[in-house]
A and B are shown apart, each in its own frame.
Chain A
Amino acid sequence: MTVSTEAILGIIAEESGLDPAALRPDATFEQLDIGSLDVASTLFAIEDKLGVVIDPDKLDRNATISDFVGLVMRLA
């Protein structure tokens, strides 16, 4: 799978069970009620499908969707 904003948002939606439309760029993981296991699942799927390895310690609950997409794109 090619690394793209659409692919990253698709993975977050699938792993968190949220509607993709709910993933506003300025919303934080906390605001979206994406819990720690969903975050771990998202990081696993990002690594598995996009080949991008993210250190979970680099993410905090205040990160926005936009921050996360930017982080994945930078590391790709």
Chain B
Amino acid sequence: MNRKVVLTGFGCVSGLGIGLAETWRSIAAGESAIRRLLREAPTEHPARRMDGPAAWVDQQACRAALAGEDLRALGQIDPLSLHALAAGVEAVNGAGLRGHPALDRRTAIVMGCGSGGNATMDQAFERLYARDLPKVHPQTIPSSMISAPASHLAMLLGVHGPTFVISSACASSAHALGEAMHMIRSGRVDVALAGGSEACLTLGSWVAWNSVGVMADDTCRPFSRDRKGMVLGEGAAVVVLESEAHAAARGARILGELAGYGAASDAADMTAPDSAGIETAIRAAHEDAAVLPDEPALISTHGTGTRLNDPAEAAAIRAVYGSALPRHTAIATKSAHGHLIGATAALEFVIGMEALSRGAAPPVLGHLGTDPECDLPLALGPTPIDHRVLVSNSFAFGGLNAVLIGRLSA
């Protein structure tokens, strides 16, 4: 039986905009959503203010995108779920699946999230620890659960099939897309809404991320000399995956194919990446997709701009592609939308597929010059491409690697 998995809907929100059209317009024009975030401290302690580069979602615009949707039954909605809902509704509406009978029983929802509803938890803890209040809002747990975005999407869209969240830090939504692809291949479902969501631009998360020592104080400069680290973003992206037979039977517009997925664990270190694990995941994805490494591809790198990620990823890419590397084009879109943690892989996959279909690679921003350890065929300006294959890399703290291969349909 043909269980090819095709793509029939995309949706995304990030600092670049609400919806894929706005996102693409911004990123193709070389615009960056990274700006100085300055939020004064909620108390008299100046150390508690947030001040540094970040790429945040316009929450008001995100809510406006959901105007007309009946969200009442969903209860309190953390930005984590708000982002997922906006991206999910765009993807499902774009796929022409809204209200389709398949959503009822033959659809899965698999979302990837790195953390739960940080804003809700921050508000609750601020009451306890800063204001010495004894109670927190009764919906603190349901609205901040890491699984809330999946539940909220299922409630709004009437999905009764398998619904859950996968968490693997910065690779969460790559694992979500890949595992959802296998659910369709195995025949468990015909359709899957797969993606990721994150909303971590809150004081607690901000201070914790800065404590790791991997944050840039200027901007995100992937694979560049003098790069200083990563920049936090937030948002969500959702992809409608569908068996080819199901999509064809309903006359759906096919946007491409999720052709392969490779996953591997470094089993080595909680923060430092390991080239061997990365290489294993990339090779596994190629094998799964039956795409040879010498076929010209758009490589959407993980490209965080940290001291350790970029050379480890570049070494793995060089090992896999060898002398064929110059045929490929590498992009690093975190330089435009920041690092969306659990949502980043899905957003990068959507942008990568859009780049293939439009024949244009969005430029790597903030590049100051080549770091010999990170020498890759980067698109440093808007670059025309005719590749039909996307390789989308995602690697997480704790050594969790997941690589997706997308392909334009013949």
Q: Is the CB of B139 within 8 A of A41?
A: yes
> Which of B71-79, B99-107, B299-307 contacts its partner?
B71-79
Q: Which of A44-60 contact B (CB under 8 A)?
A: 44-45, 47-48
B137 at the interface (CB under 8 A from A): yes
Q: How many residues of A contact B (CB 8 A)?
A: 11
How far in angstroms is the closest Cβ of chain B from A74?
22
Residues of A within 8 A of B139 (CB): 37, 41
- B136-147 near A? 1/0 per residue, CB < 8 Å: 011100100000
Q: Is the CB of A44 within 8 A of B137?
A: yes
How far in angstroms is the closest Cβ of chain A from B92?
22
Residues of B within 8 A of A38 (CB): 75
- Residue from A18, A47, A48 having most chain B Cβ neighbours under 10 A: A48
- In the complex formed, the residue of B with least CB distance to A36 is B138
Q: Is the CB of B76 within 8 A of A41?
A: yes
B250 at the interface (CB under 8 A from A): no
User: 9 A-B contacts, Cβ less than 8 Å apart?
Assistant: A17-B71, A17-B72, A18-B72, A37-B139, A41-B76, A41-B137, A44-B137, A45-B137, A47-B135
Q: Is the CB of A40 within 8 A of B71?
A: no
Q: Is the CB of B72 within 8 A of A37?
A: no
Q: Give chain A's interface secondary structure class.
A: helix
- A21-50 near B? 1/0 per residue, CB < 8 Å: 000000000000000011011001101100
Q: Give chain B's interface secondary structure class.
A: loop
- B48-84 near A? 1/0 per residue, CB < 8 Å: 0000000000000000000000011001100000000
- In the complex formed, the residue of A with least CB distance to B75 is A37
How many Å lie between the Cα of A44 and that of B133 in the bound state?
12
Residues of B within 8 A of A47 (CB): 135
How many Å lie between the Cα of A45 and that of B133 in the bound state?
13
Q: Is the CB of A37 within 8 A of B135?
A: no
Q: Is the CB of A44 within 8 A of B135?
A: yes
How far in angstroms is the closest Cβ of chain B from A2?
20
Q: Is the CB of B71 within 8 A of A37?
A: no
Residues of B within 8 A of A44 (CB): 135, 137-138
- Residue from B71, B138, B139 having most chain A Cβ neighbours under 10 A: B138
Q: Is the CB of A40 within 8 A of B138?
A: yes
How many Å lie between the Cα of A40 and that of B71 in the bound state?
19
Residues of B within 8 A of A16 (CB): 72
How many Å lie between the Cα of A48 and that of B134 in the bound state?
10
- In the complex formed, the residue of B with least CB distance to A39 is B138
How many Å lie between the Cα of A41 and that of B139 in the bound state?
7
Q: Which of A6-22 contact B (CB under 8 A)?
A: 16-18
Residues of A within 8 A of B138 (CB): 37, 40-41, 44
How far in angstroms is the closest Cβ of chain B from A44?
5
Residues of A within 8 A of B135 (CB): 44, 47-48
Residues of A within 8 A of B142 (CB): 37
Residues of A within 8 A of B133 (CB): 48
How many Å lie between the Cα of A38 and that of B72 in the bound state?
10
Residues of B within 8 A of A48 (CB): 133, 135
- In the complex formed, the residue of B with least CB distance to A41 is B138
Residues of A within 8 A of B72 (CB): 16-18
5 closest A-B pairs by beta carbon, nearest first, are A17-B72, A40-B138, A41-B138, A44-B138, A41-B139
